[in-house]
Amino acid sequence: MTELSQRIAEQMGTGPHVPQQHSPEPPRVHGPRVTVARTSGMVRDASPRSQQEHLDDLVRRYTARTPTSKRIAQRYRRVLADSRAVVGFRSGTKEMLYPLAGRRASGARLEDVDGNEYVDITMGFGVLLFGHEPDFVTEAVREHLSRGIQLGPRTIETGEAAELLAELTGLERVAFANSGTEANSAAIRLARAATGRDKIVTFLGAYHGHADNVLGRTSGSGPHQVTVPVSRGVPQAAVSDLLVLDYGSDTALETIARHADDIAAVVVEPVQSRHPSLQPVEFVRKLRELTRRHGIVLLFDEMLTGFRPAPRGAQELYGVTPDLATYGKLLGGGFPIGAIAGRADIMDGVDGGFWSYGDDSYPPADTTFFGGTYIQHPVSMVAARAVLTHLKEHSPHLQERLNARTAELATTLNGFFEAEEYPLRMSHFGSQFRFEHRADMELLYHHLMVRGVHVWEWRNFFLSTAHSDGDLEFVADAVRDSLRELRSAGFFPGGRPVTPAP
């Protein structure tokens, strides 16, 4: 690596380490700052000067296109503590690091405050399965608001949403919360209450929200392996009952068997958003067997996989019914929500279970703590009922069609990556996808934004039923054009001749 390319690498990779918490990813506090030019062999035939010129030009184009978004980010930075606004900080690209400020959104399209239009593949971080502003949600919410937000009394839609959720998932009872984090915290507490045990198992690479008791990672190896907090502020005591194991490994199953008598729940993100191609069917089936045998609660965190690939989410992929499952995201149609569903005997920890009027029945089960001012928020409940009704009417055709369209996009792009020897693959599960790189590709995402494809900081992407064939072609063109332009500037040299971008 020449001195100049080394300098570019350093510029792009040696910014101050910024803690990255409160993300929909496993927080990678003090994570590595890999750089475009740093990956070995990447700049083999390239002129480092052309890379630097390219970066300068990209910064110019990016910031000229979105000056108001940038101004807003800077204007409020002193007062607004915003973890998302600093995800991926690097000195070399910091001029392009600001959240897009939106003006309006409809279907698969977004317009920013500078009047630029985007095809959105962020889709509300996985929330907007039906696109921005789906009529059936907007109408239901509008109708409710026309009668005042009824916070306090129960809305009938709450019971209807619970019934629909149970029907679609095949699970027995349902409780609502305000977020995925809240749903997982409550589910873990219910599992601990039901089993009388304390230990929780999660898997490396999964994300379960930002409650202290799931913010652990392993440190050390073999018999010296321990769980430590992922960041400052999380006390050691909060993760002392957490075991973080390798997803899909026999060792994980052995460890669970060894600690079985102390384990309350095994929490699984069935298809991890960071590794959509990791779908260890046999492992999950064995896990079901093992947990059943030892009376351990198997908890599926279906925050992203719920309803999206199939009505029964990842449970359908694995052919496995968990004891509890948690939901959120798309369930609320854009409004804050979380839900816990599962076996009645465990869910009875919320309210003591079933009883009737006019006889001598009473809530039979012991309860644990569950509550919150905004649980069953009327607007979220109305929206959830609308979402679930729509899903009931259109599943599984809706998911099958969207999955097939995502697979088509993957086939098109992966064919291109292979043919032109770019070191990445588009992997997907249902309509959720991600580019898995063998090299650092941060600049690709900036290029996509410049070309009008809305990507977000954690780089998990989603298609919606509102995306047209034209939208998908637009995304594919933007990916191809971005990579070709990067190659013409000396990045990712491949086996085929480089065609300079226009």
Q: What are the two backbone dihedrals, phi and then psi, of residue 118, each rounded to the nearest 5 degrees?
A: -130, 145
Interface residue with ligand PLP, options 124, 306, 328, 490 (CB under 6 A): 328
The answer to whether residue 332 forms part of the interface with ligand PLP (CB under 6 A) is no
CB-CB contact of 13 with 92 (8 Å):
yes
The answer to whether residue 273 forms part of the interface with ligand PLP (CB under 6 A) is yes
For ligand PLP, the closer CB: 24 or 333: 24
Give all strands (DSSP E) within 333-402, no chain letters: 338-342
For ligand PLP, the closer CB: 297 or 413: 297
Q: Count residues contacting ligand PLP (CB under 6 A)?
A: 14
Rounded to whole angstroms, the Cα distance separating 493 from 420 reads 10
**In whole angstroms, how close is the CB of 397 to ligand PLP at the nearest point?**
25
For ligand PLP, the closer CB: 15 or 180: 180
CB-CB contact of 333 with 307 (8 Å):
no
**In whole angstroms, how close is the CB of 301 to ligand PLP at the nearest point?**
5
Of residues 287 through 326, those in contact with ligand PLP by CB under 6 A are: 301, 303-304
The 461-462 sheet, strands edge to edge:
424-429, 432-437, 461-462
**In whole angstroms, how close is the CB of 126 to ligand PLP at the nearest point?**
7
Rounded to whole angstroms, the Cα distance separating 351 from 365 reads 8
Report CA-CA distances (Å) from 164 to 1, 157, 249, 376, 459: 59, 10, 35, 15, 32
Sequence-ordered alpha helix ranges (H) in 424-494: 442-450, 469-488
The 117-120 sheet, strands edge to edge:
102-106, 109-112, 117-120, 453-454
Per-residue contact flags (x/-) with ligand PLP for residues 178 to 217, judged by CB under 6 A: -xxx--x----------------------xxx--------
**In whole angstroms, how close is the CB of 125 to ligand PLP at the nearest point?**
6
The answer to whether residue 26 forms part of the interface with ligand PLP (CB under 6 A) is no
The answer to whether residue 456 forms part of the interface with ligand PLP (CB under 6 A) is no
**In whole angstroms, how close is the CB of 88 to ligand PLP at the nearest point?**
17
For ligand PLP, the closer CB: 27 or 180: 180
Rounded to whole angstroms, the Cα distance separating 419 from 484 reads 12
For ligand PLP, the closer CB: 189 or 484: 189
The answer to whether residue 420 forms part of the interface with ligand PLP (CB under 6 A) is no
Q: What is the secondary structure of 287-322 as a DSSP string?
A: HHHHHHHHTPEEEEE-TTTSSSSSTTHHHHHHT---
Q: Give the binding site for ligand PLP (CB under 6 A).
A: 24, 179-181, 184, 207-209, 269, 273, 301, 303-304, 328
